[in-house]
Structure 1
Amino acid sequence: MSDVAAIDLPYIETNRSRHGKERFYFRVDKKRIARLPDNPHSEEFATKYWEARNAYEASGAAPTKDSTTLPLVAQAGTFQFLCANYLASQSFRKLDSTTQAKRRSIIDSMLSEPLSAKDRRLFAHLPLAALDVANLEVLRDRKRDTPFAADERLKILRQIFEAGKAAKPSPLVRQNTAKLVEPFRVKTDGHETMRNEDIAKYIEHHGQQSKAVLGLAILMYTGMRVSDLATIGPQHRRGDTLIFRVFKNRNKSPTTLEIPIHPILDAVMALHPQKRMTYMVTEYGKPFTIKGLGNRVSDWFTQAGLPHLTAHSVRKGLATNMAENEATDLMLEGMFGWKDAKTSKIYTRNAQRARLARQAVSKIDWGEMGNIVPHPEGGVVSQSATPEKKIS
């Protein structure tokens, strides 16, 4: 028994062996073209998939006229043709390979969706003249249950239209219709923020000399992203400083950081002498992929009873901690590699707000209210009061 794999990419077939192991194939027109790696979420899988797909599409296979299947070659004047123009544009090509793969996957998902439950024609065949606000809202709303994914679709659609406006020798579209569609813009702080009590619980569970604590310590005292944690190693150390180029936006706007090694981090690293090229390695002594390490860090948090935390939670926790201890905007920008005060001010403003609120509460005086309700001088103290929380 075989069926289409639950992956947002076309031409993938999964087949379960008699031993229960899933096998993946690149398949077109009921013909298996190539065997794919066993882990559909690995970088190796993505690489092999695109090798097979690009080779097949380059073979010049004639596009199908069946509007319920995805053509191998985009037909001019269609949504798929507009997407193909974006994928060939400079704005797409300057992205790093990881971001490109994610955007290809999202675009393929949109192209492969039917117009509606009754109209099984694919969006890929939709003429550009019919690619109006209503149809773009359909694509957005298909991800209504995951608002961030819906807004990510809309973000990519806007870039697709921008590339279409700039197409040579003549524009494919005259206006960016996607900009007329409202995003969901969920009001949220995003990832949870790690706190001191979370650190204690994590270390108690994993043990001080564990790989899990080494990873946490590096994140805690450098503020680096998991994409940098996956690549940082002894070669990046110069005396008491880590010097490395940030992975994010490394092609678009390269940033090099020099972060002094905190004494506590130095002590933790001394427990893990490393002769390999990265501090974080798998059980087989191999470097982690970025996705693999991100998943592993999330697993470590879950094992410690902290499933709501991720690697980015540590970065947010560090920025919050530093701001609460009166680090300036410029200090945060130097530590985290932020190129303007927009992000740093989020943390310093919140910390300042909390300090001022505590000072403000001490100024409250409702006159005779203290004679009506229990007064601190009367011996009644809040059950949650601690020395550091009492207002003076």
Structure 2
Amino acid sequence: MDDMVRKLPRYVTVTKTKYKKVLFYFRVDKGPRTRLPDDPSSDEFKEAYRACLIGEPVKTKKIVGVPTTIRWLIERYMESAAWRNDLSDATRRQRSNILKHVVSDSGDVPFAMVQAKHIRNRMEKMSDTPAQANNYLKTMIGLFSWAVKNDHVKVNPTIDVARLKAKSKGFPEWTQEDGEAFRARWPVGTAQRLAFELLLHSGLRRGDIVTLGRQHLKGNILSITTQKTGTTITVELPDAVLSIIAATKTGDLHFLVTSFGKPFSIPGFGNWFHAASVKAGVHKNAHGIRKLAATTAANDGATSSELMAQFGWTTSQQADVYTKGADRVRLGISASRRIARRLEAQDADEKALGDVENSQKESKGR
């Protein structure tokens, strides 16, 4: 390895992934990095290096997977109807990136040899980031579930693999005080204020909020099919929110647009809204408002079914998190009131008994 590094041409750097794979890049000073082929002695590497030197795009030779390899299985999966139709755009982007790493690290491994222990081992290496490890598992579940259904493998190696326990509860939830601070910083008429009110009253994810427009609104009833789960949610917007929409400059088909009048991309909206939140002294992101909306509804007595309908959840598991939390709050307050009433009653009984005893003593003294 040391000899190889010493012999590398100028501007070529070498890195090793956490899975021990050696990667080569072309980079001049602090400019962009360009991935080079894996074998520095190959003609393909030399041609790619020459292209980088003169500023031409690097032509990479497409590797076609052998029909028994992970690479081939992933290629077929990403061509399937299950990949195109069953997953949202955001999920496909996320899983495509994960599968790229799988191919890079293990593309030539026969997929029939993959066992649960191999997936567990990879997740163990990702244990410092349990959310990423669990996303990897979800991706492999999707891949091998499709493979079983289409007779590529007989056994799904992901069946007995458990998710890692997350070290946090995910995105931090906004509080009522956070909302008041945001409203104080961004008055009615600003796009930031409109974004906050729409997020709070609709409970939509950022992937849906960027597509929201007048075409989804009839009177004060808002209805939209969500990108992630494909479920249709219907909510009623209060007059106050309709007034904010009317007072804000919007696009033709999008309530929220950039300063250039263009629709936001999902990452662009996230960055823009986070910056607005920081200016209001709230160091949290848009998803935390969705949590606040769910908590507010649950505390006001919303059932799991009602929360599922508003927030587009397809199972009650997520809704139960909020309803059970709200029930615990109500039950806790109710129990504390019982304790207080009981203690007050005991104090009253003791005082009454003391008054009787004092009265009897006074009678005897007379």
Compute the TM-score of the two structures, normalised by the length of structure 1. 0.69
1:333 aligns to what?
Answer: 308
Cα distance in 2 for residues equivalent to 1:2 and 1:285 = 43
1:304 counterpart = 2:280: yes
Counterpart mapping for 1:1-392 below 5 A: 1=11, 29-30=44-45, 57=62, 72-94=63-85, 95-113=87-105, 123-128=106-111, 130-167=113-150, 171-186=151-166, 188-250=168-230, 255-307=231-283, 309-364=284-339
Cα distance in 1 for residues equivalent to 2:24 and 2:81 = 28
Q: 1:12 to 1:152 in 2, by over 3 A?
A: farther
Q: Which runs of 5+ in 1 are unaligned?
A: 36-51, 58-71, 114-122, 372-392
Q: Which amino acid aligns with 1:221?
A: H
- Report the alpha carbon displacement of residue 268 of structure 1 after superposing the two structures with TM: 1.9
Cα distance in 2 for residues equivalent to 1:248 and 1:275 = 24
Cα distance in 1 for residues equivalent to 2:282 and 2:218 = 34
RMSD in angstroms over aligned alpha carbons?
3.5
- Report the alpha carbon displacement of residue 234 of structure 1 after superposing the two structures with TM: 2.3
Q: 1:300 to 1:351 in 2, by over 3 A?
A: same
- Report the alpha carbon displacement of residue 13 of structure 1 after superposing the two structures with TM: 6.5
2:5 aligns to what?
Answer: none
1:390 aligns to what?
Answer: none
Cα distance in 2 for residues equivalent to 1:345 and 1:310 = 23
Cα distance in 2 for residues equivalent to 1:256 and 1:367 = 51
Q: 1:355 to 1:13 in 2, by over 3 A?
A: same
- Tell me, yes or no, if the aligned pair for 1:234 and 1:274 is still in contact at 8 Å: no
| Greater shift in the superposed pair: 142-151 or 262-271 | 262-271
- Report the alpha carbon displacement of residue 229 of structure 1 after superposing the two structures with TM: 0.9
Aligned partner of residue 100 in structure 2, secondary structure = helix
- Tell me, yes or no, if the aligned pair for 1:218 and 1:265 is still in contact at 8 Å: yes
Cα distance in 2 for residues equivalent to 1:326 and 1:105 = 41
Which of the pair is proportionally richer in helix?
2
- Tell me, yes or no, if the aligned pair for 1:89 and 1:163 is still in contact at 8 Å: no
- Tell me, yes or no, if the aligned pair for 2:250 and 2:257 is still in contact at 8 Å: no
Cα distance in 2 for residues equivalent to 1:5 and 1:230 = 38
Q: 1:133 to 1:240 in 2, by over 3 A?
A: closer
Q: Which amino acid aligns with 2:109?
A: L
- How many residues of Structure 1 are paired with residues of Structure 2 in the alignment? 318
- Tell me, yes or no, if the aligned pair for 1:85 and 1:164 is still in contact at 8 Å: no
Q: 1:183 to 1:247 in 2, by over 3 A?
A: closer
Cα distance in 1 for residues equivalent to 2:258 and 2:13 = 33
Q: Which runs of 5+ in 2 are unaligned?
A: 1-10, 18-22, 38-43, 53-58, 348-366
- Aligned-residue sequence identity (percent) comes to 25
Q: 1:330 to 1:145 in 2, by over 3 A?
A: closer
Q: 1:150 to 1:204 in 2, by over 3 A?
A: same
Q: 1:337 to 1:100 in 2, by over 3 A?
A: closer
Q: 1:2 to 1:288 in 2, by over 3 A?
A: farther
Compute the TM-score of the two structures, normalised by the length of structure 2. 0.74
Greater Cα radius of gyration, structure 1 or 2: 2
Q: Which amino acid aligns with 1:203?
A: R
Q: Which amino acid aligns with 2:146?
A: A
- Tell me, yes or no, if the aligned pair for 1:26 and 1:32 is still in contact at 8 Å: no
| Greater shift in the superposed pair: 129-138 or 275-284 | 129-138
- Report the alpha carbon displacement of residue 310 of structure 1 after superposing the two structures with TM: 1.9
Aligned partner of residue 107 in structure 2, secondary structure = helix
Q: Which amino acid aligns with 1:160?
A: L
Q: 1:84 to 1:212 in 2, by over 3 A?
A: same
